[in-house]
């Protein structure tokens, strides 16, 4: 019988240290528009020194902050930025957090090497998620101007969202100009450093490079990198992956498939609900077009995998089971990886967390998910990690009471939930109560 995730955690990670996570050494998400870096998408990002990075591009990853976190993990202490994982693990029930999934992709030899590596030494990345800029044609409700130029336009044209009192990260109150430090026409030292590092080292050390955004297919740097792969066949063993919202006419996808012929490509896209709910949550999204594009990509037989990332928030739960059923129908036709899915629980902004919902509604959604899982649990195309993610969400809805340790108290979160969605509705010409009938009565009473 194969080893469970919990058994892996106990056998491999916890014997290195009770807080050990390979992502701190071998993985990074780097936003080149802002010069920010982090070990995975959970800990808050921090700034890379723009002067020093030109001389040593490895500083895009090996910052003083990460080295301090590595030292803590080597000593079995918990870096505070990794709170997402600690919160899951503290739920009990032998909970398994993302540090397991983000570590088990590396060899045990590499994890042991990381444990024993002097903290001052730079590490070469094995997996990297990179964003060149924030250009994006969508302005999803749980996104913000740091990641979307369409969100920037909302704030520029309509001003800041007002009367939000719990939003500690100020997601919706300014244009986040620091997220894009350089104009498209200016030289960005972080982008330069990335391409330097790519040419000298990264193309041979990276196992996987994932391009995110903004919307990567709208960035010229993405196409430049694809060209590199095409013009240098066999020079790199790096697997290429692209995140895309797939909010395009088909010709853009034809262009992508044409440009990546002969290159193994994984495509990651996002969605977590159906029809009007999806189009409400992800402003700019067209559910019919997205499904057509999914069909087009799967029928092309050109991708290595097609992955759907679900951001679990308060508003998606009503149609999430229907959405997961849609995933299963595709799997039945195309196989377990076309598509596969992950459920990532939203923590920020905390007023959009599933945990702001009142107990009775939350339990209804939990029960519906449980029914879904009971129905599909033995389905041959449902992968173990997918089954686990659904079960983890069920447990989360059942057990966890606050989105994160610094979250404001519930009246403030409820205030912001209402304030935000009223303003979002009027700016985007939407209607919350029409799209989320199960939440309407509660919402109207806020
Ligand atoms: S948040 Fe979790 S998965 Fe991410 S680096 Fe920290 S321990 Fe690893």
According to DSSP, residue 331 is labeled H
List, for residues 158-179, the tens digit of each pLDDT value.
999 999 988 655 788 888 887 7
Ligand 1 atom with the shortest distance to the CA of 73: 7
Ligand 1 atom with the shortest distance to the CA of 84: 1
* pLDDT confidence of residue 54: 92
* pLDDT confidence of residue 317: 98
Q: What is the CA radius of gyration of the chain?
A: 21
Exposed, middle or buried, 425 (CB in 10 Å: 0-12/13-18/19+)?
Answer: middle
Ligand 1 atom with the shortest distance to the CA of 83: 1
Pocket test for ligand 1, best of 30, 66, 98 (most atoms within 8 A of CB): 98
Ligand 1 atom with the shortest distance to the CA of 98: 3
CA-to-CA distance for 281 and 146, rounded, in angstroms? Answer: 17
User: How far apart are the CA of 11 and the centre of ligand 1, in A?
Assistant: 18
User: How far apart are the CA of 98 and the centre of ligand 1, in A?
Assistant: 6
* pLDDT confidence of residue 60: 97
| For ligand 1, atom 8: residue with the closest CA | 99
CA-to-CA distance for 46 and 44, rounded, in angstroms? Answer: 7
User: How far apart are the CA of 22 and the centre of ligand 1, in A?
Assistant: 8
Q: Any alpha helices (H) in 56-209, and if so which ranges?
A: 64-74, 83-89, 98-101, 108-116, 149-158, 189-197, 203-205
User: How far apart are the CA of 3 and the centre of ligand 1, in A?
Assistant: 21
User: How far apart are the CA of 15 and the centre of ligand 1, in A?
Assistant: 17
User: How far apart are the CA of 305 and the centre of ligand 1, in A?
Assistant: 24
Nearest to 241 by CA among 215, 212, 198, 218: 212
**CA angle at residue 158 from 152 to 163, to 5 degrees?**
100
CA-to-CA distance for 45 and 177, rounded, in angstroms? Answer: 16
Residues with CB under 6 A from ligand 1: 21, 23-24, 39-40, 42-43, 82, 84-85, 97-99, 102
User: How far apart are the CA of 346 and the centre of ligand 1, in A?
Assistant: 15
List, for residues 405-419, the tens digit of each pLDDT value.
555 689 999 999 999
Ligand 1 atom with the shortest distance to the CA of 99: 3
Please list the ranges in the chain whose pLDDT falls under 70: 1, 93, 167-169, 401-408
Residue 70's contacts (CB-CB under 8 Å, 6 or more residues apart) are: 24, 25, 114, 117, 119
User: How far apart are the CA of 101 and the centre of ligand 1, in A?
Assistant: 9
* pLDDT confidence of residue 347: 82
* pLDDT confidence of residue 168: 57
Ligand 1 atom with the shortest distance to the CA of 24: 5
Residue 72's contacts (CB-CB under 8 Å, 6 or more residues apart) are: 19, 78, 79
Pocket test for ligand 1, best of 85, 88, 103, 345 (most atoms within 8 A of CB): 85
User: How far apart are the CA of 25 and the centre of ligand 1, in A?
Assistant: 11
Q: Residue 4 — left, alpha, or beta (φ > 0 → left; ψ -120 to 50 → alpha)?
A: beta
| For ligand 1, atom 4: residue with the closest CA | 40
CA-to-CA distance for 327 and 383, rounded, in angstroms? Answer: 12
* Bridge partner list, 31: 36, 131
Ligand 1 atom with the shortest distance to the CA of 43: 1
| For ligand 1, atom 1: residue with the closest CA | 82
């Amino acid at each position: 019988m194969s080893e469970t995730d919990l058994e892996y955690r106990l056998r491999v990670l916890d014997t290195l240290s009770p807080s050990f996570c390979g992502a701190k050494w071998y993985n990074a998400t780097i936003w080149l528009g802002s010069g920010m870096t982090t070990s995975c998408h959970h800990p808050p990002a921090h700034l890379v020194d723009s002067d020093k990075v030109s001389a040593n591009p490895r500083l895009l990853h090996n910052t003083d902050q990460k080295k301090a976190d590595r030292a803590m993990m080597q000593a079995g202490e918990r870096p505070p930025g990794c709170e997402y994982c600690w919160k899951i693990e503290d739920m009990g029930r032998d909970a398994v957090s993302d540090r397991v999934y983000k570590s088990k992709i590396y060899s045990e030899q590499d994890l042991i090497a990381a444990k024993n590596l002097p903290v001052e030494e730079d590490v070469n990345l094995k997996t990297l998620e990179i964003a060149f800029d924030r250009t994006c044609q969508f302005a999803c409700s749980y996104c913000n101007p740091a990641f979307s130029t369409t969100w920037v336009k909302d704030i520029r044209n309509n001003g800041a969202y007002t009367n939000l009192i719990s939003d500690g990260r100020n997601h919706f109150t300014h244009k986040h100009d620091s997220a894009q430090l350089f104009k498209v026409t200016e030289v960005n030292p972080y982008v330069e450093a990335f391409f330097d590092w790519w040419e000298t080292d990264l193309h041979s050390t990276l196992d996987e490079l994932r391009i995110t955004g903004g919307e990567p297919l709208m960035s010229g740097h993405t196409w430049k990198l694809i060209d590199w792969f095409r013009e240098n066949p066999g020079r790199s063993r790096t697997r290429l992956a692209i995140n895309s919202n797939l909010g395009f006419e088909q010709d853009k996808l034809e262009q992508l498939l044409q440009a990546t012929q002969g290159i193994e490509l994984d495509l990651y896209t996002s969605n977590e609900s159906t029809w009007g709910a999806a189009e409400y949550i992800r402003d700019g999204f067209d559910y019919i077009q997205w499904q057509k594009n999914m069909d087009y990509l799967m029928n092309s037989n050109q991708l290595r995998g097609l992955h759907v990332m679900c951001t679990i928030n308060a508003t998606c739960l009503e149609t999430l089971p229907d959405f997961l059923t849609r995933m299963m129908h595709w799997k039945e036709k195309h196989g377990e990886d076309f598509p596969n899915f992950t459920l990532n629980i939203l923590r920020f902004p905390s007023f959009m967390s599933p945990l702001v919902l009142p107990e009775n509604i939350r339990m209804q959604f939990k029960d519906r998910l449980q029914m879904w899982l009971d129905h599909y649990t033995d389905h041959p195309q449902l992968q173990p990690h997918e089954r686990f993610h659904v079960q983890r969400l069920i447990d989360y809805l059942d057990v966890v009471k606050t989105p994160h340790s610094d979250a404001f108290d519930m009246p403030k979160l409820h205030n912001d939930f209402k304030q935000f969605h009223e303003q979002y509705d009027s700016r985007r010409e939407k209607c919350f109560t029409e799209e989320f009938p199960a939440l309407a009565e509660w919402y109207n009473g806020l």
